[in-house]
Structure 1
Amino acid sequence: MSIDSHSYQQQALDCLQSTFGYTQFRSHQIEVIEDVMQGADCFVLMPTGGGKSLCYQIPALLREGTAIVVSPLISLMQDQVNALKANGVQAAYYNSTLGLEEANQVLMQLHTGQLDLLYVAPERLLNQDFVQQLQSLPISLFAIDEAHCISQWGHDFRPEYSRIGQLRHVFAQVSFIALTATADAATREDIVHRLALQSPKVHVSGFDRPNIRYTVLEKRQPFKQLVDFLDQRNAAEESGVVYCLSRKRVEEVALQLQQKGYRAQAYHAGLPAEIRHKVHQQFIRDEVAIVVATVAFGMGIDKPNVRFVVHYDLPKNIEGYYQETGRAGRDGLASEALLLYGAQDVVTARHFIEQVANEDQKRIESFKLASMVEFAEAQTCRRSVLLNYFGDPMHHACGNCDVCLNPPVLFDGKVVAQKALSCVYRLQQGFGMSYAIEVLRGADNERIRQLGHQQLSTYGIGKEFSVAEWQSIFRQLIHRGYLMQDIRNYSVLKLTASSGDVLKGKVELQLAKPRVKSTKSAGQGRATAREGLTESQQEVFENLRALRKEIADSEDKPAYQVFGDATLLEMVVALPKNDHELLQISGVGETKLSRYGFEFLNLLRQA
């Protein structure tokens, strides 16, 4: 249909409510939709869960022709297409998973104008025959999702994405919209340049996800720390992702969780495609509660009820960390992000950066890692550190991170630092952290006696601190540049150029007491999605969840594609009694009302 410029906002709002079941737009959405409706190119930066998809889905429904959506992951396409179909939208995907007959069926729908949106893998989109076919059809817009993949300065560069910009010249009269959740200033400029966007309208939303609680713990006994966290969260009832850096660790942690009775599965790029697909499907259908994964898992997750994300190892950069933690709480409900932070992770990451041949790339990666370390070591509000990195400063404490909820206790570290550095010096810079701590604490064992280190002047001078406290002290000294670990030589501790000033007492040093376990202040508890519900409301919520699962199983789809948790919680509070009242609930559109309204209203009337 053609759009009257004076009425597009009302048409967009009508579409939002009747198709998707929402009564109002989120920040920046209507502005982006207006620009796309008027034929402009757009660059859109919105946080995960901020509603990027609607910025191109609604114009696709209102403009003539078919919208072509470029997506990097097959699982992401399938989830988004299924969610659109659940809302009554004519959508399909065109990728390598389709057999010849299915692919031809999709192309027939495209050529006969039956599709509002077609999701396409970049490899298929850039096929010359397919491009020629598109040139003969009415195309409403091109949307490039996860656009940071196009930039080599981004954190997830994909070479096949870099050719998409060629299409801008072929389809000169069609709007192009690039969307991403994570891009610093350099990456933004690179995306616009590589896609050859024409005088694009730039929309940058705030990066804050206030429903996510950020917590960082010093990594000591990581698996025990993980299990403690899961036990506090009652993880058997919730969905979550645990990220590890190596495939080997992914499999080890997944197996250990299974042995503890958790419904957990491993996911990494080294597993056969059918296993990865099965794990993904089990996760989105709530048959698996926890996926332990490398970063290969996640970009394709359009699952709104992920309640926690744990980083078992330190991410390489803040962009990756932000995107991965953003997979929690997409529905806006309370969720958590836990990072286990160890000095060895930093040493390993720096070692790999040193192997990078390109000096510019090495410089960028070093800066990004340093920024990640600064976040992990922050003694001020973590959300402020995170937002400031993306140029979205917050000038007040958030009240929902571990630093705000449990401010660190600082102590004068001048003397204890001298003890630590002196011990490393007396050990002739030839031993690792664990052994140095044994000497400082005056351990009586065969190795110390055999080497004669009980005779050192630093033997036993640190008995006032526990092993965990000494580990924290050494890590803080490493991160501040007063010590280093030689990864090429069994991670032995070495003094640095800055060590001398500490040993001579020229440096005033404030150190933080370690965070090795999650603490809870009075009344704080864990961040849960059901906060504020009474006991009777909890019961209604569980009944609604059971009904949702029954329907989802009968239709062979994930439960959240029936209704999300946020929608169920709103039903619990509002207790709608008829169709009109149910339509006022966010997430209930006309299609879902006709499909599921009777059963849900019947249950709610009994509450």
Structure 2
Amino acid sequence: MTQLAQRIAEARSQLHGHYGFQDFRPLQRRVVQSVLAGRDALAVLPTGGGKSICFQVPALVLGGLTVVVSPLVALMQDQVDNLKRRGIAAETLNSLQPAEEQARILERMAVGWLRLLYISPERAPRLALELLRRGIRPSLLAIDEAHCISEWGHDFRPSYRELAVLRDELGRPPTVALTGSATPAVRKDIVRSLGLARVDQHIGSFDRPNLRFVVERLRGNAPRLAKVRELLAPKTGTAIVYVPTRNTADSVAQALWFSGYRAASYHAGLPRERRSEVLSRFTAEDLEVVVATSAFGMGIDAPRVRLVAHWSMPPTPESYYQEAGRAGRDGQAARCVLLFHPQDADLHQRQLNVTFPPRRQLETLWADPSMRPRYPAGVVASADRLRLELRPESGPVDWSGVRRRREVAEMRIRVMEGYAARCRCRRAALLEWFGEEVPSCSGCDACSTSGKRTRWFRPWNRSAQ
């Protein structure tokens, strides 16, 4: 038996022992084989694809230290807690921890106790220095939510751009970049930005034939609430209602509760204990519906979600498809309903003036701090963020990157508006964005009303991917 075959056999054993699964899904298996063979890999596994297993299990087989870069502290902590429950030595380093706790974690790392160490991209340079000082070379570098590295991605973070330097400083360990949503342009940018050579690319299909996509054109909160009540009426399983703000999450959840539904809100403004309680009750189906912001998503595995409704149009096709894809993970029929009005797109366009303020506003705020009270808090926060990124005090500012990111954001809004407003196959419109070509379906309202087909539901088996 070759060394690779031995490693794959051990990976299956670790998978069964720690996760309870008999074998990997086909796409997971291909990613794990690349990693265990010491090759760089890019893995695009849509929602529900189990991408964390693709680096967590190899970390156990390879031994040594696996460094995992992830963008959200809450997500890192949830994954570390989950790993510890499975008996796997894992920790996270972040700026919210006391210095004593950080020192304790680094000491455990130094003596070889840790298998996985989660860090934010902002923390990466300091960790690299610590690893070099202690003579530790990671066995594997895993970059989660890798679309954040690309200016073409829907959630670009400048700090991700520095990960190529981190990789060089760590001696270019085998690297796996993972994401749940990436267009062909984003995938190309990830590979280029990280300097991955002869990379194995494993791209899962985004098609979910068991999901029915529907758009309802509504204006105002009262009609939207009435439609949500109507959608929830069958009570065939659990439901998620995504809303744009925390206040909306609380008010809609309260309205549904008074309408007789076991409902709760979920957003980043709630205490961590409350969020954990809501997630546990929803997974156990003690709650019928969760009304949530985009904070509700990472790490959720509730297979019997029969409905995902969006209160209004999300700003990107990636976020919409990722959130909608939390429906029907058991392979059975489920509905993804978008409540839409053209004003939704106008609101997102206006928000771009906050996220990317005009150049004149930025230069005014940078030059004269006394002007800050005259601008909205969001504009001031964006000015501070862009100042750290562009460093105007160091010389002439290159505005091209900011312009490009705004143009890409505007394009995404137009794509979502087109998806909602046009009478064409909604499934095909979404999948084309991710580089897949599919024939018109019967799994959306546009195709059903055009009389193309009558039977829309096809079961989906995620274990086949």
What TM-score do the two structures reach when normalised by structure 1? 0.60
Question: 1:64–1:139: 8 Å Cα contact kept in structure 2?
Answer: no
Instruction: Give unmatched runs, 5+ long, in structure 2.
Output: 359-401
For 1:19, the aligned partner's letter is H
Contact 1:49–1:332 (Cα < 8 Å) also in 2: no
Contact 1:48–1:323 (Cα < 8 Å) also in 2: yes
Residue pairs, 1:572-583, within 5 angstroms: none
8 Å contact from structure 2 (residues 266, 296) kept in 1:
no
Match status 1:401 vs 2:403 = no
1:277 equivalent to 2:279? Answer: no
**How many Å separate the matches in 1 of 2:152 and 2:170?**
26
2:149 is the counterpart of 1:150:
yes
| Greater mean deviation of Cα atoms: 382-391 or 41-50 | 382-391
Q: Deviations over 1:227-251 (max 9, x none)?
A: 111222356xx2x432222444334
**Structure 1 residue identity aligned to 2:224:** P
Structure 1 contact 71–120 (Cα < 8 Å) conserved: yes
How many angstroms apart in 1 are the aligned matches of 2:403 and 2:162? 24
Question: How big is the shift at 1:116?
Answer: 2.0
Pick aligned residue for 1:300 from 285, 298, 301: 298
- Report the counterpart of residue 365 of structure 2 in structure 1: none
Runs of 4+ with deviation above 6 angstroms: none
Distance 2:141 2:288 in 1: 35
Partner-residue secondary structure (3-state), 1:9: helix
Q: Against the structure 1 CA distance between its residues 382 and 134, is the aligned structure 2 distance closer, same or farther, given a 3 Å change threshold?
A: farther
Cα deviation digits, residues 121-162 of structure 1 (max 9, x gap)? 223333257643576224210101111122222111223333
User: Relative contact order: is structure 1 or structure 2 higher (C-alpha 8 Å, sep ≥ 6)?
Assistant: 2
Match of 1:232 among 231, 234, 259: 234
- Residue 368 of structure 1 is matched in structure 2 by 412
CA 1:161–1:332 in 2, change beyond 3 Å: closer, same or farther? farther
Native 8 Å contact 2:93 2:102 kept in 1 = yes
Give per-residue Cα distances to partners, 1:17-42, cap 9 Å, x unaligned.
33322233223222222221222221
Contact preservation (8 Å) 1:353, 1:362: yes
Q: Which residue matches 1:80?
A: 79
When structure 1 is superposed on structure 2, of 388-397 and 138-147 the one drifting more is 388-397
- In structure 1, how many angstroms separate the alpha carbons of the residues matched to 2:132 and 2:421? 54
Tell me by how many angstroms 1:194 deviates.
Answer: 2.5
Letter of the 1:284 partner, please give it: L
Report the count of equivalent residues. Answer: 408
**Aligned partner of 1:376: which letter?**
A
Deviation at 1:366, TM superposition (A): 2.9
Q: Give the unaligned 5+ runs of structure 1.
A: 411-520, 530-565, 567-585, 587-607
CA 1:81–1:247 in structure 2 vs 1: closer, same or farther (change >3 Å)? closer
In structure 2, do the counterparts of structure 1 residues 173 and 245 end up closer, same or farther at CA, with 3 Å as the change threshold? closer
Q: Percent identity?
A: 35
Structure-1 separation of matches of 2:185 and 2:2: 36
Residue pair 2:241, 2:310 contacting (<8 A) in 1 also: yes
The reply on whether 1:106 has 2:105 as its aligned counterpart is: yes
Mean alpha-carbon deviation: is it higher for 145-154 or for 4-13? 4-13
- CA RMSD across the alignment: 3.3
Give the drift of 1:315. Answer: 1.1
Cα deviation 1:330-385 (Å, max 9, x = unaligned): 55555432211112213333444577545433432332222212222353442222
TM-score (norm 2): 0.77
Task: Identify the residue that residue 18 of structure 1 maps to in structure 2.
Answer: 17
The residue correspondences of 1:211-360 to structure 2 (distance < 5 A) are 211-220=210-219, 221-233=223-235, 238=238, 240-268=239-267, 271=269, 275-286=270-281, 289-295=288-294, 297-305=295-303, 307=305, 308-330=307-329, 332=331, 334-353=333-352, 356=356, 357=358, 359-360=403-404
Per the alignment, do residues 145 and 305 of structure 1 end up closer, same or farther by CA in structure 2, a change over 3 Å counting?
same
Contact persistence 1:268–1:293 (CA under 8 A): yes
The equivalent residue for 1:187 is 186
